[in-house]
């Protein structure tokens, strides 16, 4: 397909987005239904054109059309087909196009599935979404255009960074973007509500599915990114507090707070001002993350200086949207009517605590990420804010959240009974203590923090079970009644419990891995063995191999436990010849939830090879927990209630012979 078709589609998408920004908002301001109806049509068209542009670029990659500069710079005709396709978003220009594609996708989904929304809200949401699209399309077309052509076309491309030629990297950016950019919709809802001046309990219900979807994608995306770093970088670490990771974690904290405060707003008409602020913050932090990652300020000030247009452009977008929305917020928020009241000890109170601590955690991560930048530009001092800072602050802030988590769902709205909740949680608490004792016994001394953390994790998981059991009245009512009640429970309740259990599972994995992992660094000759985590590893052979575009030095180890051989594990050091770049292919074997992890080092002068081996107990629970959380979100999302709204105004169109000005389908006695 002609790349120029994609280029035009992208330009046309910009024109469409401009109209999408102006016409529906205008229509909403003057109350003109026809103008507002233009919004959904344009949102779908916007999505169509951006998809077309993305498809054309993909075709250019698949066909190795080296007349497209972006393809020359990031592809190679001999690259496997899978990595040709994933190479589309494995570079700056393509990933920004993916960003806009996801933005357009969410806009189109609101247009198509938002029939339950009031017309003015929908029009304003699509208008705001369109304005974000305008800003980023301008950024792409003016500073990062993937459709720039070269003539004469080279015969071969420069290939993709080998570290990026990996299936994990292929799928985690799209997931992450679905989360990141998904918050653009909650942002659009918040700004739309501020423009409209109508913010009530119903708004929260309309916003929740979008917040939930974005949050679930972001959760999985972060987990995938973490697993990719774990097995690809060969260090056995799964979280580095790297700025790029922090950039995804901050919106996650804000988004988690948002999905909780939206519940309060929906049920009790309270915390409205706060929920709006969170909706704005979640997307602002996503934008900030995009800026940090895309402008290059973090990896190298130098990179930013050589091409300042991009950084300055994104900074402009950042200032416009964050500043604009916050200014609008400051203007309109004081005019909102106060909602329901509640006692400090109540479901609302618990959710407020959760919100405060989560936002504080997001702020702590933000400060830790930006402080070195700020300090350097202020007095030139170069410092690193490393894992100790983040572990301390985020850990201390999350501890009360985690402990309070099982209590929250058991407290009643408005005024709760803490003692009662504690009583009902006795069984969970008992299990938690038992687990802690068992862990302490197994550990046999050492820091107490680990057993306590595992006890807390068990308390959270069992607490989620108790929550569901209590809702069914198990033990208090006949079994048949309890079963009927459980069947009648809304899916959102199951979803919440599942997500909370996921947090517990994840916490268990984190604590077990960090406190019980075993590490051995040694040099081995063939036939020699060493022991890690109760497994005996023998270096059976070292063999050189040749791949399509790399040379491999593979070490094969046999694993023995208690003297019997239970398998082999293979790790290799890979040299990609095109860019003369080595990578480590770690050998990983999973036993239950635990993993044995081996990576090769350099060949040693006296013969033999450096080996780094880890025993990582329960490490897979970290990612499994995150997946359970996301599944909980998905389950909540399937709740029927989230789709309730207007009595299908779209179905009852005004009939020709009626006066056109008659309000369509107002069920209440109007006028």
Partner 1 sequence: MLLWTAISLMTGAAILAVLWPLRAGGGTAPAASAADLAVYRDQLSEIERDRVSGLIGASEGEAARAEVGRRILRASAETASGAARPSGADRRRQIVAVVALVGLPVMAGGLYLKLGSPALPPQPLAARLESRPDQSDVAILVRKVEAHLEANPEDGRGYEVLAPIYARIGRTADAARAWTSAIRLLGPSAVRENGLGEALTAEAGGVVTVEAKAAFEAAAVADPRDPKARYFLGLAAEQDGRPADAAQIWGALAASSPPDAPWMGLLRAALARVGAPVAAAPGPSAADVAAAQDMTPAERDQMVRGMVARLEARLAQDGSDIEGWLRLMRARIVLGEADKAKAAASEARAHFATDGGALGRIDALARELGLGS
Partner 2 sequence: MTRKGRRLLLISCAIGVLGVAAGLVLFALNDTIVFFRSPSEIAAEHTAPGSRLRLGGLVKDGSVMRQDNAHVRFTVTDGGADMAVYYEGLLPDLFREGQGVIAEGVLLGDGTFRADSVLAKHDEKYMPKEVADALKKQGVWKEGEAAR
Q: Please give the residues from 323 up to 382 whose contact with partner 2 meets the rule CB under 8 A.
A: 338, 341-344, 352-353, 356-357, 360-361, 363-364, 367-368, 371, 381-382
Q: Which long-range contacts (CB under 8 A, 24 or more apart) does 566-571 make?
A: 568/540, 569/537, 569/596, 569/598, 571/598, 571/599, 571/600
Alpha carbon distance 531, 446 (integer Å): 21
How far apart are alpha carbons 493 and 456 in whole angstroms?
22
Q: Name the minimum Å distance from CB 128 to partner 2.
A: 28
Cα–Cα distance for residue pair 662/647, rounded to 1 Å: 17
Q: Which of residues 390-409 bind partner 2 (CB under 8 A)?
A: 392-393, 396-397
Among 163, 485, 520, 627, binds partner 1 (CB under 8 A): 485
CB closer to partner 2 out of 178 and 364: 364
> Taking contact as CB under 8 A, which single stretch among the options 2-10, 452-460, 515-523, 587-595 is the one that binds partner 2?
515-523
How far separated are the first and last CA of the chain, in Å rounded?
56
146 Cβ partners below 8 Å, 6+ apart? Answer: 57, 68, 70, 93, 94, 97, 140
Contacts of 442 (CB under 8 A, 6+ apart): none
Q: Is 628 in the site for partner 1 (CB under 8 A)?
A: no
Q: Does 577 bind partner 2 (CB under 8 A)?
A: no
Chain centroid to Cα 486, Å, comes to: 31
Binding mask 155-174 for partner 1 (x = CB under 8 A): xx------------------
| Closest of 339, 336, 333 to residue 352, by C-alpha | 339
Which one, 306 or 661, has the nearer CB to partner 2?
A: 306
Using CB under 8 A, which of 21, 64, 246, 286 touches partner 1? 64
The residue (of 368 and 632) whose beta carbon lies closer to partner 2 is: 368
**Residue 531 touches which member of partner 2, partner 1, none, C-beta under 5-8 Å by kind:** none
Contact status: 653 vs partner 1 (CB under 8 A): yes
**Contact string 205-224 vs partner 1 (x = CB under 8 A):** xx------------------
Could you please report the per-residue DSSP string of 497-562? HHHHHHHHHHHHHHHHHHHH-EEEEEEE-TT-EEEETTEEEEEEEEEEEE-SSEEEEEEEEEEEET
The beta-carbon contacts of 234-241 under 8 Å, at least 24 apart in sequence, are 234/583, 234/584, 234/585, 234/586, 234/599, 234/612, 235/599, 236/517, 236/519, 236/586, 236/597, 236/599, 236/612, 236/614, 236/616, 238/513, 238/619, 238/622, 240/387, 241/368, 241/386, 241/387, 241/390, 241/391
Query: Is the preceding peptide bond at 152 cis, omega within 30 degrees of 0?
Result: yes
CB 628 to partner 2: min, Å: 28
CA distance 564 to 557: 14
CB 16 within 8 A of CB 104: no
Q: C-beta of 42: minimal distance to partner 1 in Å?
A: 5
Asked if residue 566 binds partner 2 (CB under 8 A), the reply is no
| Residue 662, binding choice from partner 1, partner 2, none, Cβ under 5 to 8 Å by partner class | partner 1
Q: Which is nearer to partner 2, 117 or 360 (CB)?
A: 360
> Residue 6 or 173: which CB sits closer to partner 2?
173
Contacts (CB under 8 A) with partner 2, residues 216-235 = 233-234
Q: Please, what is the minimum distance in Å from the beta carbon of residue 559 to partner 2?
A: 20
Write down the least CB distance from residue 80 to partner 1, Å. Answer: 15
The entry of partner 2, partner 1, none near residue 632 (CB within 5 to 8 angstroms by kind) is none
Q: Is 303 in the site for partner 2 (CB under 8 A)?
A: yes
Separation CA 554–CA 570 (nearest Å): 7
Q: How far is the CB of 244 from partner 2 (least distance, A)?
A: 12
Q: Which residues from 412-431 bind partner 2, rule CB under 8 A?
A: none
Closer CB to partner 2, 367 or 448, in the complex: 367
Pick from 319, 399, 434, 489 the residue near partner 1 by CB under 8 A.
Answer: 489
Choose one: 1-9, 46-54, 117-125, 521-529; the region binding partner 2 (CB under 8 A).
521-529
Q: In terms of Cα–Cα distance, which of 476, 344, 453, 323 is closest to 399?
A: 453
65 binds partner 1 (CB under 8 A): yes
Q: What are phi and psi of 390, to 5 degrees?
A: -65, -40
Pick one of 4, 376, 543, 602: the residue that binds partner 1 (CB under 8 A): 4
- Bridge-partner residues for 606, per DSSP? none
168 binds, among partner 1, partner 2, none (CB under 5 to 8 A by kind): none
Q: Is 265 in the site for partner 1 (CB under 8 A)?
A: no
Binding residue for partner 2, selected from 583, 594, 595, 620, defined by CB under 8 A: 583
Among the listed ranges 42-50, 159-167, 388-396, 424-432, the one in contact with partner 1 (CB under 8 A) is 42-50
Tell me how far apart the alpha carbons of residues 665 and 663 are, in angstroms, rounded to a whole number: 6
Inter-CA distances, 365 with 259, 275, 636, 670, Å: 20, 21, 28, 51
Q: Is 112 in the site for partner 1 (CB under 8 A)?
A: no
Using CB distances below 5 to 8 A depending on partner kind, what does residue 536 bind out of partner 1, partner 2, none? Answer: none
Residue holding tokens 């080279």?
154
Per DSSP, the three-state class of 581 is strand
Distance CA 409, CA 428 (A): 14
Least separation in angstroms between residue 59's CB and partner 1 is 8
Residue reference for tokens 């029939």: 115
Which residues sit opposite 598 in a β-bridge? 587, 613
Q: Which stretch binds partner 1 (CB under 8 A): 19-27, 346-354, 438-446, 548-556?
A: 19-27
Using rule CB under 8 A, residue 214 touches partner 2: no
Could you say which of 32, 307, 417, 552 contacts partner 1 (CB under 8 A)?
32
Per-residue tokens: 15 = 């024109």
Residues forming contacts to partner 2 in the complex (CB under 8 A) are 161, 163, 233-234, 299-303, 306, 338, 341-344, 352-353, 356-357, 360-361, 363-364, 367-368, 371, 381-386, 388-389, 392-393, 396-397, 521-523, 573, 579-584, 599, 601-602, 604-606, 610-612
């Amino acid at each position: 397909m002609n790349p120029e078709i994609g280029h035009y589609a992208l330009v046309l998408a910009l024109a469409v987005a401009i109209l999408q920004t102006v016409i529906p908002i205008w229509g909403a301001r003057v109350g003109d239904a026809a103008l507002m109806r233009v919004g959904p049509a344009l949102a779908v068209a916007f999505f169509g054109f951006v998809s077309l542009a993305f498809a054309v670029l993909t075709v250019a990659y698949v066909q190795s059309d080296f007349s497209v500069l972006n393809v020359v710079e990031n592809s190679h005709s001999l690259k496997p087909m899978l990595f040709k396709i994933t190479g589309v978003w494995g570079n700056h220009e393509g990933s920004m196009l993916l960003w806009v594609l996801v933005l357009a996708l969410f806009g189109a989904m609101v247009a198509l599935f938002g029939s339950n929304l009031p017309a003015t809200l929908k029009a304003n949401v699509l208008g705001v979404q369109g304005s974000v699209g305008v800003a980023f399309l301008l950024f792409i077309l003016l500073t990062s255009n993937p459709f720039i052509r070269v003539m004469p076309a080279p015969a071969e491309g420069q290939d993709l960074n080998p570290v990026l030629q990996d299936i994990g990297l292929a799928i985690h950016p799209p997931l992450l973007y679905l989360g990141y950019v998904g918050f653009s919709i909650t942002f659009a809802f918040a700004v739309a509500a501020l423009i409209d001046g109508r913010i009530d309990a119903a708004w929260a219900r309309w916003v929740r599915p979008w917040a939930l979807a974005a949050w679930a994608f972001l959760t999985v995306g972060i987990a995938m990114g973490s697993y990719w770093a774990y097995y690809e970088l060969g260090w056995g670490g799964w979280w580095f507090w790297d700025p790029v990771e922090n950039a995804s974690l901050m919106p996650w904290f804000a988004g988690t707070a948002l999905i909780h405060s939206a519940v309060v707003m929906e049920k009790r008409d309270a915390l409205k001002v706060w929920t709006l602020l969170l909706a704005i913050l979640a997307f602002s932090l996503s934008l900030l993350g995009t800026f940090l990652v895309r402008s290059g300020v973090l990896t190298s000030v130098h990179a930013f200086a050589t091409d300042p247009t991009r950084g300055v452009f994104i900074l402009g977008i950042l200032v416009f949207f964050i500043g604009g929305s916050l200014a609008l917020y400051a203007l309109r928020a004081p005019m909102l009517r106060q909602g329901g009241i509640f006692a400090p000890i109540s479901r609302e109170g618990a959710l407020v605590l959760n919100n405060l601590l989560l936002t504080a955690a997001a702020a702590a991560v933000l400060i830790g990420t930006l402080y070195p930048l700020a300090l350097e530009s202020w007095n030139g001092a170069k410092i690193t804010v490393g894992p100790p800072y983040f572990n301390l602050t985020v850990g201390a802030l999350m501890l009360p959240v985690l402990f309070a988590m099982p209590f929250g769902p058991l407290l009643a709205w408005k005024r709760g009974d803490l003692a009662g909740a504690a009583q009902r949680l006795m069984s969970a608490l008992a299990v938690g203590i038992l687990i802690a004792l068992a862990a302490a016994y197994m550990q046999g001394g050492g820091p107490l923090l680990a057993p306590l953390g595992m006890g807390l994790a068990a308390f959270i998981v069992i607490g989620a079970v108790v929550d569901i059991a209590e809702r069914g009245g198990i033990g208090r009512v006949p079994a048949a009644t309890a079963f009927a009640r459980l069947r009648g429970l809304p899916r959102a309740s199951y979803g919440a419990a599942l997500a909370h259990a996921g947090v517990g599972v994840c916490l268990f994995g984190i604590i077990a891995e960090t406190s019980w992992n075993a590490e051995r660094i040694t040099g081995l000759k063939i036939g020699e063995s060493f022991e890690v985590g109760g497994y005996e590893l023998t270096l059976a052979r070292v063999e050189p191999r040749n791949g399509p575009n790399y040379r491999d030095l593979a070490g094969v180890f046999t694993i023995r436990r208690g003297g019997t051989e239970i398998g082999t594990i293979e790790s290799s050091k890979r040299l990609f010849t095109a860019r003369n770049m080595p990578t480590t292919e770690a050998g990983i074997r999973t036993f239950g939830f635990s993993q044995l992890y081996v990576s090769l080092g350099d060949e040693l002068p006296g013969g033999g090879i450096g080996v780094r081996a880890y025993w990582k107990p329960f490490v897979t629970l970290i990612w499994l927990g995150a997946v359970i959380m996301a599944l909980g979100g998905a389950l909540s999302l399937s709740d029927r209630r989230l789709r309730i709204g207007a009595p299908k105004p779209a179905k009852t169109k005004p009939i020709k012979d009626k006066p056109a000005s008659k309000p369509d389908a107002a069920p209440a006695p109007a006028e």
